[in-house]
Structure 1
Amino acid sequence: MKNLLTRIISYLFESISLWFEQDKEPVELSVKEFESMLLKGIAESRNDFQIDNCIDLIKRYKGEGAEYEAAIARLDRAIILKRYLISTPVKASVKRYQLS
């Protein structure tokens, strides 16, 4: 199941990348649409390669203004957090606490 999910996410990123490459005209996106699409992609990323695909998409989008700069800052923080979560091993045992 996990492998299938990874393949689906990879396919999604490849499709988005191909869509941008096929369309030579700049794509009109609002900053909110841009940020929402990429935050979802970052959240669903399972490895560094998928995060690198998100970074490539960020580099292709050219925006201006304070709203754009704030969105880029939030995306940067999301990327740093996701890379940390991917690289941190999950502990196999979880302690259970009884409620008294």
Structure 2
Amino acid sequence: MKLLVALLLVSSALFLSSSFFQFTTAHPTDDDAPAIPSGSCDSKCEVRCGKAGVKDRCMKYCGICCKQCKSCVPSGTYGNKSECPCYRDMLNSKGKPKCP
């Protein structure tokens, strides 16, 4: 009986601990992307987000988009997204434009 209880405890502990593991899929990482000088994205995003109401959020997403689009950021503070199709076409999880 003690062996059965011990076996149940061990198996339930293994089952519960396995639910805490996060399964991942193979996605490209930042290590796979070509190296882009961070200053180029920072300065371009500084211009792009110059008139943004929530500048820190704008800078965050602009930086993400800039790095993924190989340092392409549209000119000006709004619009001109046709200059960078990658930047223009990037969507968030809700299907809305990700890049400012």
Q: Which has the higher helix share?
A: 1
Higher RCO structure (Cα 8 Å, ≥6 apart): 1
Which structure has the larger Rg?
2
Whether TM exceeds 0.5 here: the answer is no
Instruction: State the TM-score, normalizing by the size of structure 2.
Output: 0.25
